[in-house]
Amino acid sequence: MNAPPGGVGHLSGGCQTMRLVEQDGSVLHEIADDGTRGRPEVQRGELRWILLDSLPAEAVRWGHKVSGTRALGGGRHEVAFADGSTVVTSLLVGADGAWSRVRPLLSDATPEYVGTSFVETYLFDADTRHTGSAKVGGGGSMIAPSPGKEIFAHRENGDTLHAYVALSSPQDWFAAIDFTDASAAATRITREFGGWAPELTALITDAGIPPVLRPHYALPAGHRWSRVPGVILLGDAAHLAAPNGEGASLAMLDGAELGKTLAAYADGTEAALTEYEQAVCARSTEPVAFEGTETQRIDSESNTPQAMLKMITEQSH
Ligand SMILES: Cc1cc2nc3c(=O)[nH]c(=O)nc-3n(C[C@H](O)[C@H](O)[C@H](O)COP(=O)(O)OP(=O)(O)OC[C@H]3O[C@@H](n4cnc5c(N)ncnc54)[C@H](O)[C@@H]3O)c2cc1C
């Protein structure tokens, strides 16, 4: 694990306004913040500091990249680090994300590309330098969906607009784009949004830093494993899904439940892990939600503002 940088993160769970926008930039629908903070949001960097600040300083060993794990028998495991050091565990919790080095102890499953990727951009000084995009984005989040592509923007601290431009394309297609050439990459991605309002495409062309490609991977739906003494998974290591606005909350829920269950079974770690594991495995089969609303797949023909509005209206009744 490497120490986290400060600064702007990119995590949103809802709250504030949520706009549904058409390709021409007109606002079809806006869900107002109801003031209850029922779905509070926090930026990724801030969340990491909140969690780290709650731990004793020596709890995290920075600069220890796990290079491999192996079973020693009797519920014990050896964890090897890139610097050549090792530790032996009595309980090994694999909270190491999508490409977990712990998961292979329990499961052969590997993440697969789901067919969509985000191109991530940031626009700084939005209210003075990017007024069109700031206006269409509103005060919270904005989504402009269409079959196979979509633009999502979110207002963040420090007058920043953070955007995810989603495209349903194979990895080969993205590989042909040179993301080290920021301007050429932005031009190529923008070409996919021909006819869209300039204040929407400016979220790609006017970015303050080079666009970053974020391919989406997932573990198979219903990913399960058989109990192996002394080792357990949580978060993306257990149930990686394509981004749906819930992943961070689920990872924290897993962690909280694991802690509570271990505390409740003070003399029986294996019984606690068995109970926890049933809850965690169920999470990889539950339907995805985004901003509290069931999502359409980006590649679906019905990924349109009108279909999304219909869904929101039906779910609010
Ligand atoms: C583009 C994108 C946008 C997303 N947006 C949202 C969103 O808006 N809202 C939301 O809720 N979720 C979002 N998610 C999903 C969310 O990021 C994850 O579900 C969540 O971070 C999972 O938490 P985790 O702790 O399981 O894994 P991670 O957050 O990936 O944490 C794993 C940790 O393990 C460490 N690690 C990994 N490998 C090793 C190793 N070999 N050795 C040592 N340490 C290691 C990493 O450094 C990291 O600190 C998004 C995901 C993507 C890809």
On the CB side of 89, CA atoms within 13 Å amount to: 16
pLDDT number for residue 253: 95
The CA 97 to ligand 1 mean position distance, Å, reads 5
pLDDT band at 283 (very low <50, low <70, confident <90, very high): confident
pLDDT digits (tens, 9 = 90+) for 239-263: 999 998 889 999 999 999 999 999 9
Confidence at residue 294, expressed as pLDDT on a 0 to 100 scale: 44
Q: Is 243 in the pocket of ligand 1 (CB under 6 A)?
A: yes
> For the purposes of burial, counting CB atoms within 10 Å of the CB of 85, is it exposed (0-12), middle (13-18) or buried (19 or more)?
exposed
**233 and 150 in one domain?**
no
Report how far ligand 1's centroid is from the alpha carbon of 26 (Å): 34
- List the strands of the sheet with 86-89, edge to edge: 66-73, 76-81, 86-89
The answer to the question of residue 59 being in a domain is no
What is the mean predicted confidence (pLDDT) over 171-186? Answer: 97
Of 48, 81, 96, best ligand 1 pocket probe by most atoms within 8 Å of the beta carbon = 96
Which tens digit of pLDDT belongs to each residue from 157-167? 889 999 999 99
Tokens of 45: 């960097």
Q: Ligand 1 atom closest to Cα of 234? A: 26
Q: Residues near 197 by Cβ (< 8 Å), separated by ≥ 6? A: 23, 24, 25, 136
On whether residue 3 sits in a domain, the answer given is no
Q: Residue 277 belongs to a domain with what CATH number?
A: 3.50.50.60
Share of the chain above pLDDT 70, in %: 89
The Cα–Cα gap between 35 and 209 comes to: 33
Same domain, 76 and 180: no
Is 228 domain-assigned? yes
Query: What is the number of the ligand 1 atom nearest to the C-alpha of 246?
Result: 11
Q: How many domains does the chain have?
A: 2
Is residue 49 domain-resident?
no
The answer on 139 and 234 residing in a single domain is: no
The reported pLDDT for the residue numbered 314 is 84
What mean pLDDT do residues 27-39 have? 77
Q: What is the mean pLDDT of residues 84-103?
A: 97
Q: Check if the beta carbon of residue 232 is closer than 8 Å to that of residue 91.
A: yes
206 Cβ inside 6 Å of ligand 1: no
* Res 296: pLDDT: 62
| Residue reference for tokens 């009108």 | 306
Regarding the beta carbon of 235 and ligand 1, being less than 6 Å apart is answered: yes
Report d(CA 219, CA 206) in Å as an integer. Answer: 34
Residues 26, 120, single domain; the answer is yes
What's the rounded mean pLDDT across residues 188-198? 98
pLDDT of residue 44 exceeding 60, the answer is: yes
In a domain, 4, yes or no: no
pLDDT at 37: 61
- Shared-domain flag, residues 185 and 301: yes
Answer whether 218's CB lies under 8 Å from 247's CB. Answer: no
- 82: domain range? 64-111+220-286
Q: Are 24 and 173 part of one and the same domain? A: yes
Averaged pLDDT for residues 135-139: 93
Q: Is residue 11 part of a domain?
A: no
**One domain for residues 83 and 160:** no
184 and 143, same structural domain? yes
Radius of gyration of the CA atoms of the chain, in A: 21
> pLDDT (tens digit, 9 = 90+) per residue, 53-79?
999 989 999 999 999 999 999 999 999
**Are 304 and 191 contained in the same domain?**
yes
Is 10 among the domain residues?
no
Using the CB atoms, write b or e for 34-64: b if 16+ within 10 Å. Answer: eeeeebebebebebbeeeeeeeeeeeeeeee
287: pLDDT confidence band, cut at 50, 70 and 90?
low
Indicate the SS3 state at residue 277. Answer: helix
Tell whether 138 and 203 lie within a shared domain. Answer: yes
Check whether residue 128 and residue 248 sit in a common domain: no
Tell me the two tokens of residue 219. Answer: 């573990």
Q: Is residue 105 part of a domain?
A: yes
Q: Answer for the pair 16, 139: CB distance below 8 angstroms, yes or no.
A: yes
The response to whether residue 29 sits with its C-beta less than 6 Å from ligand 1 reads no
Examine the domain organization and report whether 154 and 202 are in the same domain.
yes
238 CA: nearest ligand 1 atom:
26
Nearest to 23 by CA among 191, 185, 153, 199: 199
